[in-house]
Amino acid sequence: MGKINEVPAPPLLSSNMINFAKSYVKLRVVDGLSVGDICKTLGVSTKTLYSWKENEAFNSYLKALEASYVTDDEIEAYNNVRRHILKLVSRENPSDKHLELFLKHFNHVVEAENRKRMDKLGINNTTSEFVSVEERKRRLLSRLGRLTNDED
């Protein structure tokens, strides 16, 4: 059984959201119910659920609760699958199906590479929140100028 009660709830969530999240995860992960069935069972509309899911704290809490149900055996099995997928795509001519598997299970790698490229261009989401549009434009033009000079 999961360690669901050991997962701290974010202080900004209402008690309704916290109780729903705990029940939702148990019904979804353990019992395998659909989102619609869970909402009916718990008396919350799917519209309300999707509204709550727009809240970053609620989503993070759901993911932490789900993670509390993951067993060591499941992690080991998942790691075996990941190693197998890496072997498949490392072949000289991987199939489209193997590439799809890789992208599905290694999306975090793709995202990390995209973040690196964005950092290199100065358009990283983490820094763009604190930098004005004019400053970002100046940085991009500066980098573009350096790239153009490097090609000469």
Q: Give the 3-state secondary structure of 74-95.
A: HHHHHHHHHHHHHHHHHCCCCC
Both tokens assigned to 112: 């990390």
- Above 70 in pLDDT, residue 149? no
Residues 6+ apart with CB under 8 A from 38: 23, 24, 27, 28
How confident is the model at residue 128, as a pLDDT? 42
Answer with the residue of higher pLDDT: 135 or 13.
13
In this prediction, residues 1-8 reach a mean pLDDT of 76
The secondary structure of residue 13, as a DSSP letter, is: S
Predicted confidence at residue 109, as pLDDT, reads 82
Stronger pLDDT, 129 or 123, i.e. the higher one: 123
Q: For residue range 68-117, what is the model confidence (pLDDT) as tens digits? A: 888 889 889 988 998 999 999 999 899 999 999 888 888 888 888 888 88
Q: Is there a contact between 17 and 31 (Cβ–Cβ < 8 Å)?
A: no
Distance between start and end Cα atoms, the chain? 63
**Global model pTM greater than 0.75:** no
Place of tokens 């309300």: 48
Q: pLDDT confidence of 21, banded at 50, 70, 90?
A: very high
C-alpha separations of 89 from 86, 94, 111, 112, 114 in Å: 5, 5, 18, 18, 20
pLDDT tops 70 at residue 61:
yes
